[in-house]
Amino acid sequence: MSLRFPEVARPDYPNPMPPPWIAFPDIAPDSIGWRMGSGEVYMMDFHQWYMQLDDRAARHLRERWPAPEDWADFYPTYETRRRTRHETRRRR
């Protein structure tokens, strides 16, 4: 037996997508709100979008919206993931 889940409609986000602390300023970085509900959906969509950026676009985003102190690990973590993803693609 196979379960089918309905497709979830995704919002039409602006481009560039604002980082989570701009999009949801009332959700703390360590909140469960990033693992449930609209915060979770946004974080997943932001992740997919950010991973596709080239170096110049990612740098522009970081300069436009620097991470506040309580989000200090956000960009370094994403940059590590993004670089790893791009390197993996080049090897194929």
Of the chain, the percentage scoring pLDDT greater than 70 comes to 82
Work out the pLDDT band at 90, boundaries 50, 70, 90. Answer: low
Q: What contacts 34, CB < 8 A, 6 or more positions away? A: 20, 27, 40, 43
**CA 49: distance to chain centroid?**
7
| Weakest mean pLDDT among 7-16, 60-69, 72-81 | 7-16
Q: CA-to-CA distance for 73 and 77, rounded, in angstroms?
A: 6
Average pLDDT, the chain: 86
Of residues 70 and 78, more confidence is placed in 70
Q: How far is CA 43 from CA 2, 25, 84, 89, 91, in A?
A: 28, 13, 19, 23, 28
Read off the pLDDT of residues 29-53 as tens digits, 9 standing for 90 and up.
Answer: 999 999 988 899 999 999 999 998 9
| Residue 80: Cβ within 10 Å count | 10
CA distances from 16 to 57, 65, 90 (A): 9, 11, 25
pLDDT of residue 1 exceeding 80, the answer is no
